[in-house]
């Protein structure tokens, strides 16, 4: 498999920690940021140092941790200037209620708040991961501060809902490190689909024979879920209609779970016309049992009669035939003659683009190879052949779809 470029390769980040019990999560967040390729400078408030030591964060970042406005290690004595001039973003996790209040007021009485005020706001975004008791988060003062920070251009990541260290339950938990990483990558990604709505199907369908058995296929849904994440990173509002799979929902994506092809059809058709793009990644069963047994069909000494089948609705063809269809992208999972079968699907369903792949070589795997087929010709992803992880391929495919939309609109 071709090695993918880390999500944050070449990015320079400032990770700020204010006082909060979630500082223990910040160590894992820092590890993930570094693993994703980022160069990270850590800045800690005095309160943060009561929860976790600078030594821990220095060991994980491989760089000095700065805690004092008057740090003598800075040759010009201006840490608040130096830290942000080359930074691609400032992420404060955890962001306490007190820090949010000071930032909303434009105060600069410690290094962390000072560098936030001094950062070049046009090219160094500020992201905050709130962490506080649920009553503190719900307080009108905190909500006013949050609204002011959003109005000033800050991006608030969270908070999460759940059990808190104090034993209470509600909104106020800092997001988990994996979720913060996904949100940060999305925030720093180009936005070629900003303002667009994208509808995606993913996974297999399950066509019941009786209450315990059914017809299905080996599709894992991984490619469709990767496309949903990539489209969200590109700025789109994404709805994901998923068959029976066990995959976490990508951050910021609306998910609708279905089982059968008929249920997927019923979920997709009312939504399709309101979306700019429809990507039919799901491996929808072509056929279903003509009748569903009320009870489990018991094994007996006699061979059961042949299973009668009836054809399922063609979701992609129905969407493509709408009076004002979205830009439709079909997927063709084949076992042979990939280009020929993909081109026949393109013609038969009157689509602008079909993405072909070899089903047995991709179902359940984390990597893939795609063949893009349109009226003009064929194009391989990744470029030059070979294979790549599905998220890398999804990002490349989303970029290609955005390029085609822009060309059509020009």
Q: Looking at 42-46, 133-137, 329-333, 358-362, which range is the least confident one?
A: 358-362
What token pair was written down for 264?
């997927």
**Domain ranges across the chain:** 12-188, 197-287+310-409
Radius of gyration from C-alpha coordinates of the chain: 25
Helical packing angle, 177-188 and 222-233, nearest 10°: 60
- Residues 24-44, mean pLDDT to the nearest whole number: 97
Percent of the chain with pLDDT over 90: 80
What is the distance between the alpha carbons of residues 37 and 353, in angstroms, rounded to a whole number?
Answer: 34
Q: Is the pLDDT of residue 387 over 50?
A: yes
Q: In the structure, what pLDDT confidence band is assigned to residue 57 with cuts at 50, 70 and 90?
A: very high
Of 275 and 300, the one with more pLDDT: 275
In whole angstroms, give the CA distance from residue 69 to residue 106: 17
Q: Which of 72-86, 128-142, 199-213, 365-379 has the lowest mean pLDDT?
A: 72-86
CATH topology of domain 12-188: Rossmann fold (3.40.50)
Class of domain 197-287+310-409: alpha beta
Q: Is the pLDDT of residue 379 over 70?
A: yes
Return d(Cα 232, Cα 253) in angstroms, integer. Answer: 7
Is residue 312 predicted with pLDDT exceeding 70?
yes
DSSP 324: S
Looking at 118-132, 265-279, 355-369, 376-390, which range is the least confident one?
A: 355-369
Mean pLDDT of 2-9: 77
Q: What is the C-alpha separation between 96 and 132, in angstroms, rounded?
A: 6
Residue 116 appears among annotated catalytic residues: no
- Please say whether the beta carbons of 198 and 237 come within 8 A: yes
Q: Indicate if the pLDDT at residue 1 is higher than 60.
A: no
Residue with tokens 């990744």: 382
Distance, CA of 155 to CA of 151 (rounded, Å): 9
For residue range 138-148, what is the model confidence (pLDDT) as tens digits?
Answer: 999 999 999 99
Contacts of 379 (CB under 8 A, 6+ apart): 371, 372, 400
The pLDDT assigned to 242 comes to: 98
Residue 16 phi/psi, 5-degree rounding, is -100, 140
**Range 265-271 average pLDDT:** 98
Q: What is the mean pLDDT of residues 284-307?
A: 81
Closest CA to 130 of 107, 99, 104, 109: 99
Catalytic residue selected from 116, 124, 166, 328: 166
**pLDDT for residue 4:** 66
Among 69-73, 244-248, 383-387, the range of highest mean pLDDT: 244-248
**Per-residue confidence (pLDDT) for residue 386, from 0 to 100:** 86
CA 192, 195, 199, 203 torsion-angle sign:
positive
Distance from the Cα of residue 253 to its chain's centroid: 7
Range 326-344 average pLDDT: 91
Give burial (CB, 10 Å; 0-12/13-18/19+) of 21: middle
Determine which helix (DSSP H) or strand (DSSP E) holds 317, and give its type and residue range: helix 315-320
Q: Is the CA virtual torsion 97, 103, 107, 113 positive or negative?
A: positive
Taking 70 as the threshold, does the pLDDT of residue 28 lie above it? yes
Q: What is the mean pLDDT of the chain?
A: 93
Q: Give tens-digit pLDDT for 77-136.
A: 788 888 999 999 999 999 999 999 999 999 999 999 999 999 999 999 999 999 999 999
In eight-state DSSP terms, residue 22 is T
> Is the per-residue pLDDT at 265 higher than 50?
yes
Closest Cα to residue 185, out of 366, 1, 6? 6
pLDDT digits (tens, 9 = 90+) for 157-190: 999 999 888 888 999 999 999 999 999 999 999 9
Cis peptide before 382 (omega within 30 of 0): yes
- 123-127, 139-143, 235-239, 302-306 — which is least confidently predicted? 302-306
The neighbouring-strand residues paired with 99 are none
CA distance 322 to 138: 45
Q: Can you give the pLDDT at residue 302?
A: 61
């Amino acid at each position: 498999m071709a090695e993918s470029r880390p999500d944050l390769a070449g990015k320079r980040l400032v990770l700020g920690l204010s006082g909060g019990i979630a500082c223990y999560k910040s160590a894992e967040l820092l590890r993930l940021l570094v693993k994703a390729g980022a160069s990270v400078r850590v800045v800690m408030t005095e309160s943060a140092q009561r929860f976790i030591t600078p030594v821990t964060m220095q060991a994980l970042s491989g760089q000095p941790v700065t805690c004092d406005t008057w740090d003598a290690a800075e040759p010009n004595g201006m840490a608040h200037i130096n830290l942000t001039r080359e930074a691609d973003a400032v992420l404060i996790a955890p962001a306490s209620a007190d820090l949010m209040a000071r930032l909303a007021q434009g105060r600069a009485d410690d290094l962390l708040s000072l560098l936030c005020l001094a950062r070049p706001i046009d090219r160094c975004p500020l992201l905050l991961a709130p962490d506080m008791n649920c009553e503190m988060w719900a307080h009108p003062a905190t909500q006013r501060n949050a609204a002011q920070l959003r109005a000033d251009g800050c991006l608030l990541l969270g908070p999460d809902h759940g059990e808190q260290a104090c034993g209470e339950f509600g909104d106020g938990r800092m997001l988990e490190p994996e979720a913060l990483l996904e949100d940060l990558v999305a925030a720093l990604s180009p936005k070629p689909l900003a303002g667009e709505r994208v509808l995606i199907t993913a996974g297999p369908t399950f066509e019941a024979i009786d209450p315990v058995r059914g017809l299905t296929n080996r599709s894992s849904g991984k490619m469709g879920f990767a496309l949903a994440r990539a489209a969200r990173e590109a700025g789109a509002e994404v709805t994901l209609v998923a068959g029976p799979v066990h995959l976490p929902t990508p951050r910021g994506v609306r998910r609708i779970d279905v089982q059968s092809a008929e249920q997927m059809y019923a979920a997709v058709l009312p939504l399709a016309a309101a979306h700019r793009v429809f990507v039919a990644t799901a491996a929808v069963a072509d056929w279903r049992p003509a009748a569903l047994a009320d009870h489990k069909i018991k094994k007996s000494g006699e061979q059961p009669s042949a299973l009668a089948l009836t054809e399922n609705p063609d979701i992609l063809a129905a969407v493509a035939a709408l009076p004002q269809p979205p830009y439709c992208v079909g997927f063709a999972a084949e076992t042979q003659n990939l280009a020929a079968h993909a081109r026949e699907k393109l013609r038969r369903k009157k689509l602008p683009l079909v993405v072909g792949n070899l089903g047995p070589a991709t179902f359940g795997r984390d990597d893939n190879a795609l063949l893009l087929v349109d009226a003009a010709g064929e194009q391989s992803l990744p470029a030059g052949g070979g294979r790549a992880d599905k998220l890398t391929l999804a990002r490349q495919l989303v970029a290609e779809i955005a390029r085609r939309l822009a060309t059509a609109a020009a």
